[in-house]
Amino acid sequence: MTIDKNSTTDFGYKQVKTEEKEQLVAGVFHSVAQQYDIMNDLMSFGIHRLWKRFTIDASGARPGNKVLDLAGGTGDLTAKFSKIVGANGQVVLADINSSMLNVGRDKLRDLGVVGNVDYVQANAQALPFEDNTFDIVTIAFGLRNVTDKDEALRSIYRVLKPGGRLLVLEFSKPEHELLNKVYDFYSFNILPKMGDIVAKDGDSYEYLAESIRMHPDQETLKAMMETAGFEQTSYHNLTGGIVALHKGFKF
């Protein structure tokens, strides 16, 4: 992909040169990697575990499947998929950020998750896999950080097998205005302070809150998936739409 050196894109609420966003996002996740799991539990009150369990249940994963856990970070989904697909299956934990990938690898090995898991540093916009490789691709809380989401969706579509499915678990647009106001207050007043205390980096968590607001809403993301080629697209709102699970198939 050739990037116009004059083009800009969002980095939270800021506009930055498109060619710079990847490195800026990398800086965020290099900074928060070591405290990422602790912060996930704190800032979601542990509910992220239920969102991920719902995603696993919706995946239809079964023994022998080949699964790509894209932007898989510290490997929560990979650990669960590893048990489901078994010795004849394979899970690839892929992340663009080396710090997150290293934390994920260490965590999963400490948990005894070995044998059917591979680790790959990869950019979602240019996945280093052959066409028609995976039965399932998941991307959980990662798509909003990708510079070109449309290109990433096309890349994912390419590496899925015919009949395969994509699941996108991501923060989205709350369904009710009162919930939206409460969520905004929490995101911009409490979350950065929590990040400052626990991860020693309030700025990164301020970016993460802003990136959620800049991410496409439920219907927009559904349309983007369809433009990339996915069929039978749908989404399910979780926790009042704070999070949504989008699903689409390649036929």
pLDDT in tens, 104-157: 999 999 999 989 999 999 999 999 999 999 999 999 999 999 999 999 999 999
Cβ neighbours, 10 Å, residue 176 = 11
Q: Looking at 187-201, 212-226, 229-243, which range is the least confident one?
A: 187-201
pLDDT at 1 over 80: no
Per-residue confidence (pLDDT) for residue 192, from 0 to 100 = 85
* Band (33; pLDDT cuts 50, 70, 90): confident
Per-residue confidence (pLDDT) for residue 70, from 0 to 100 = 98
Q: What is the dihedral of CA 67, 87, 82, 66, to 10 degrees?
A: 0
Cα distances (Å, whole numbers) of residue 240 to 125, 168, 172, 191:
30, 17, 10, 19
In a domain, 196, yes or no: no
Residue list for the binding site for S-adenosyl-L-methionine: 74, 95, 123-124
Residue list for the binding site: 74, 95, 123-124
pLDDT at 3 over 70: no
The CATH code of the domain that includes 98 is: 3.40.50.150
In a domain, 132, yes or no: yes
Per-residue confidence (pLDDT) for residue 43, from 0 to 100 = 85
In a domain, 104, yes or no: yes
* Band (205; pLDDT cuts 50, 70, 90): confident
Mean pLDDT over each residue of the chain, to the nearest integer = 92
Domain count, the chain: 1
In a domain, 79, yes or no: yes
Distance linking the first and last C-alpha atoms of the chain: 26
In a domain, 7, yes or no: no
**Dihedral pair phi/psi, residue 147, rounded to 5°:** -65, -50
Cβ neighbours, 10 Å, residue 219 = 11
* Highest mean pLDDT, choosing among 52-61, 184-193, 208-217: 52-61
**Pairing mode of beta strands 160-171, 231-238:** unpaired
Q: What's the count of helices (H) and strands (E) in the chain, helices before strands?
A: 10, 9
Per-residue confidence (pLDDT) for residue 37, from 0 to 100 = 83
What span, in angstroms and rounded, lies between the C-alpha atoms of 81 and 79? 6
In a domain, 182, yes or no: no
pLDDT in tens, 37-87: 888 888 888 999 999 999 999 999 999 999 999 999 999 999 999 999 999
* Band (204; pLDDT cuts 50, 70, 90): confident
Question: For residue 35, what are the domain limits?
Answer: 16-175+207-249
Q: Is the distance from CB of 17 to CB of 8 less than 8 angstroms?
A: yes
In a domain, 151, yes or no: yes
What span, in angstroms and rounded, lies between the C-alpha atoms of 41 and 74? 13
In a domain, 197, yes or no: no
What span, in angstroms and rounded, lies between the C-alpha atoms of 140 and 248? 14
